[in-house]
Structure 1
Amino acid sequence: MVAPADWTSCDRIRLSAEGIRSHFVWLHGPMGSGKSALAQSVCQKLKEEGRLGGGFFFKRGHPSRGNAQKLFPSIAYQLALLFPELKQHISRTIENDPAIVDRSLSIQLEELILNPCRITRLTHPVPIVIDGLDECDGEHVQQTILRAIGSALSQESLPILFLVASRPEAHIRETLAEPCLAENHRALNIRQSFGDVRKYLEVEFDRIHHAHETMTAIPFPWPEAEIVQRIMRDSSGYFIYAATAIKFIDNKRFQPPERLDVILGIGHTISGSPLNHVDELYLDILSGVPEDFHPRLLQILIFVREGLSMREICRVLGLQVGELRLILRGLHSVIRVPKLDWGEVWAHHASFWDFLDDPSRSGAFHVGSRCRTTLAFQLLKTLSCNLDQSTW
C-alpha cells in the first residue's frame, strides 16, 4: 500500500532538479481500499508542514460536498489563506466577477487558481488534494474536472501538484487515456494491505479500551492478538470492513466485548470475498433495527441519500425528530446522525448505497423502485399540503 509520505517525497511527483513541473497523480483503488484515509493522511501531513495548497473531499449526495461547483472556489479560498501573495489576486478576481462561482469549472480553475499563481510567480510546490472524484455530481462533471486539470498541465509549467483519488471507474480511466491527460499523470494503485489494517485495528482497539468506562475491568491489551488477526483476515486487507466493524463496536450504549462477539459471529458464518463480509455486516446492523420500523427505515434511507436534514426528513414523512432518532439509533456505525435537528444525515461510506441498490446483496433492505414510487407520492402529498397552507 502507498504510504502517506510517498506522495510528498517520491520522484514520480516531486519537483524535478531541472525545473518546476506541474504534476497530476491519480490514486485509485476499489471500494473500501483506504483511498480517503490515505488522502486525509496526506492532507494532514502537508498541513502540519504548512504546505497544503487545498483539499476537497467529495461525498455522494451531500448538498455541498457532492457539488462540483464548490470545488475550485473552496480550493482558491484555502490558497488565499495559506499564501498572502495569492490572496489579493484571488480577491480581486471575485470582486471583478462575483458570478465566477457559477461559471464553468475550467474558467474557475483558470481565473481563481492558475492566473493568480502565474502573476505571483510562485516558486514552491502547491499540493492540491481532491478525494472521491467518483462521488461528485455525475460522470460528465467528473470528466470535465479531469480535462480542466489536464488542459492546465499540458499548456504550461506551474508549481501545482494535483492528487486525485477515486475508484477506477471506466469513464475515469477512459478520460485519463485522452491525449491531454495520458502523458500528464501518474497512476498509483492502492492494493490490499493486511499490515496497515492490523495497525489500524490495534490503534482503534487501544482507543476504545481507554474511552469506554465499561472496559476498566477488561485486561489490556484488548482483544487478544489472535482476534485482531482474525478480523484482519476477514477484511482481506480492505479498510471498509475494518472501519465499519470498529464503528459498530465503538458504541457507547453497548459494551465493546459484546459488540465484538457479534462481529466474530459474522466472520465465522461466511467465507469468500471481503464484499461478502461487508454485506453480512451491513445486514446485521440493519437487522438490529426493530422489524416494525423497517418500512419507515427504507423511506428514511432514500432521503438520507439526498442529503436532507433531520427536520426535513421528519417533515416529509410526518415523523417527530425523536421518532427518527429512535429508528436510526442502531445505525450510527453506517449513518452519521447529527446532534442538532437541522443537521444533515449521511452515510459514512458510499459502499453502503452500493449495497442497498443491489437486491442480491441487500435482500429485504433493497431500496427498489416500488419504495421510491411510494415515497414520491408521499412527497407530493406533503408539498400539496404546504401549498394549501400557504395560499390560505
Structure 2
Amino acid sequence: MDWFENPKGECIFWLNGMAGTGKSTISRTVAWDLAEKKRLAASFFFSRGRGDISHAGQFFTTIAAQLAKSLPALRPLISKAIEENVDILKQGLSEQWKHLILSPLKNAPAQSIQLVVVIDALDECDNKDDIQLILKLLAQAKCLKTIRLRVFVTSRPETPILLGFRNLLGEAYQDFVLHNIPPSTVNRDISAFFRKKLSLVKSEPGLSSSTPWPDEPTIQRLVEKAAGLFIYAATIYRFIRDDYNSPEEQLSVILEEDHDIHPQSPTKHLDEMYTKLLQTVQKDSRLYHNNVRCYGC
C-alpha cells in the first residue's frame, strides 16, 4: 500500500493481470484494509452478466451513496445536488460525476484527508465507451486539494482499458502487472493460501486433528496443479469444503490423475479441474434425485 500512503502518489493505481491471477482477491483485501483504516471512500465490483453490476448505469450513483456514508460532511452537498438535479439518475455519467461526486468533494468543509475508491474488474463493464469515460472522469480527481481522492482499479489488460489509459493525455497513473511476478513468488503465495484455507476446513467439526491434513507433498501437488492461477486455488478450496461429501473425498477427486486433457494445453490442470468438478456435480445430482424418488415411494 505504498501508493496510498505516499502523499505524492499518482491519482490512479491500475492493477492488471490475466484471468485467474488473483485481481479480485487483491481488490477485496485492499478494500477491507482501507475500510479498517477508515480510508475506503467507496467500492464497486463489476461482473459481466450480473444485472446492475455489469454496466455503468448505477456506477457513480452507487459511489456517491457510499461517499455520503463514509464522509458525513458530504451528505448535505450530495442531497442538495439531487434536489437541484431531480433527473440525475437519467443523466449521463459525466453529469452524475460532476454533480454527485466532484462538486461535493470540491465544496466540502476543508479537511486534510485521503480516501480511496476501489473498482474491481472494470473490463467487465459491458459498454466499452463507458470504460474509457469512467477512467477519464476519475482522473479529474487529481484536482482535489483538501479531500484527496485516489482510485484503485483492477482489470484484465484488454483493449478498451488500454485505450482508456492511453487517452488520458499525459495524466499520470501507476500500474502493476500481476502476470509479470516471478513464478516462485506466485507459488509461495498460493502455497500459503492452501495452508491457511485448508487448515480452516480441518478445524471444522468431524475432522480429525491428530494427523496432518493435507500433508506437505499434497500442498505442493496442489500448487503445481494451480500453475500460477489463483482462480484454481480458490475454486479447489470451495470444492473441498463442499457440504455434500467429506473434504478428504473431495481432495482425492482433485488429486486423481487425468490423462484425457491435452498435455500441451497451457491451462491443462485448470481444464482438468473443471472437468472433474462438473462430473462430480453431475454424479451427486443424480444421487440426490434418486434418493428423493426413493424417499417418495
- TM-score, normalised relative to structure 1: 0.66
1:343-382 superposed matches below 5 A: none
What is the CA deviation profile of residues 306-354 of structure 1, one whole-angstrom value per residue up to 9, with x for unaligned ones? xxxxxxxxxxxxxxxxxxx96xxxxxxxxxxxxxxxxxxxxxxxxxxxx
Is the aligned partner of 1:201 residue 2:194? yes
Q: Secondary structure at the residue paired with 1:161?
A: strand
Structure 1 residues 75, 266: CA separation in 2 closer, same or farther (over 3 Å shift)? Answer: farther
Question: In structure 2, which of residues 205, 217, 241 is the aligned counterpart of residue 250 of structure 1?
Answer: 241
Structure 1 residues 274, 53: CA separation in 2 closer, same or farther (over 3 Å shift)? Answer: farther
Deviation at 1:109, TM superposition (A): 1.4
Structure 1 residues 272, 41: CA separation in 2 closer, same or farther (over 3 Å shift)? Answer: farther
Which residue in the other structure is 1:35 paired with?
A: 23
1:219-230 superposed matches below 5 A: 219-230=210-221
2: CA distance between counterparts of 1:93 and 1:266?
61
- Does the 8 Å contact 1:235/1:274 carry over to 2? no
2: CA distance between counterparts of 1:267 and 1:33?
24
Which residue in the other structure is 2:226 paired with?
A: 235
Deviation at 1:269, TM superposition (A): 6.9
Deviation at 1:48, TM superposition (A): 0.6
Is the aligned partner of 1:126 residue 2:115? yes
Q: Secondary structure at the residue paired with 2:20?
A: coil
Question: In structure 2, which of residues 98, 121, 136 is the aligned counterpart of residue 147 of structure 1?
Answer: 136
Deviation at 1:174, TM superposition (A): 2.0
- TM-score, normalised relative to structure 2: 0.85
1: CA distance between counterparts of 2:168 and 2:36?
36
Deviation at 1:100, TM superposition (A): 1.2
1: CA distance between counterparts of 2:166 and 2:34?
29
Which residue in the other structure is 2:40 paired with?
A: 52
Q: Which runs of structure 1 show a deviation greater than 6 angstroms over 4 or more consecutive aligned residues?
A: none
Which residue in the other structure is 2:174 paired with?
A: 186
What is the CA deviation profile of residues 115-147 of structure 1, one whole-angstrom value per residue up to 9, with x for unaligned ones? 111001442112111001011222222122112
What's the Cα RMSD here? 2.5
Segments of 5+ residues of structure 1 without an aligned counterpart are: 295-324, 327-392
Residue 275 of structure 2 aligns with an amino acid whose one-letter code is L
Q: Secondary structure at the residue paired with 1:27?
A: strand
Instruction: Give the length in aligned residue pairs.
Output: 279
Residue 164 of structure 2 aligns with an amino acid whose one-letter code is T
Deviation at 1:90, TM superposition (A): 0.8
Deviation at 1:184, TM superposition (A): 2.1
Question: In structure 2, which of residues 79, 85, 107 is the aligned counterpart of residue 97 of structure 1?
Answer: 85
Deviation at 1:113, TM superposition (A): 1.0
- Does the 8 Å contact 1:131/1:165 carry over to 2? yes
What is the CA deviation profile of residues 263-282 of structure 1, one whole-angstrom value per residue up to 9, with x for unaligned ones? 11157875556622222211
Work out which structure has the larger RCO, using CA pairs closer than 8 Å and 6 or more positions apart in sequence. 2
Query: Identity across aligned pairs (percent)?
Result: 32
- Does the 8 Å contact 2:102/2:141 carry over to 1? no
Deviation at 1:98, TM superposition (A): 2.9
What is the CA deviation profile of residues 126-177 of structure 1, one whole-angstrom value per residue up to 9, with x for unaligned ones? 2111001011222222122112223x14666561101110001022112211
2: CA distance between counterparts of 1:111 and 1:74?
13
What is the CA deviation profile of residues 12-39 of structure 1, one whole-angstrom value per residue up to 9, with x for unaligned ones? xx212xxxx7611111000011111111
Is the aligned partner of 1:173 residue 2:162? yes
Deviation at 1:257, TM superposition (A): 1.0
Segments of 5+ residues of structure 2 without an aligned counterpart are: 290-297
What is the CA deviation profile of residues 41-72 of structure 1, one whole-angstrom value per residue up to 9, with x for unaligned ones? 11111101111111111111111221312111
Structure 1 residues 272, 38: CA separation in 2 closer, same or farther (over 3 Å shift)? Answer: farther
Structure 1 residues 64, 260: CA separation in 2 closer, same or farther (over 3 Å shift)? Answer: same
1: CA distance between counterparts of 2:204 and 2:143?
53
2: CA distance between counterparts of 1:140 and 1:73?
18
Residue 77 of structure 2 aligns with an amino acid whose one-letter code is H
2: CA distance between counterparts of 1:44 and 1:73?
21
Q: Secondary structure at the residue paired with 1:237?
A: coil
- Does the 8 Å contact 1:25/1:185 carry over to 2? yes
2: CA distance between counterparts of 1:59 and 1:39?
14
1:306-385 superposed matches below 5 A: none
1: CA distance between counterparts of 2:265 and 2:216?
23
- Does the 8 Å contact 1:238/1:274 carry over to 2? no
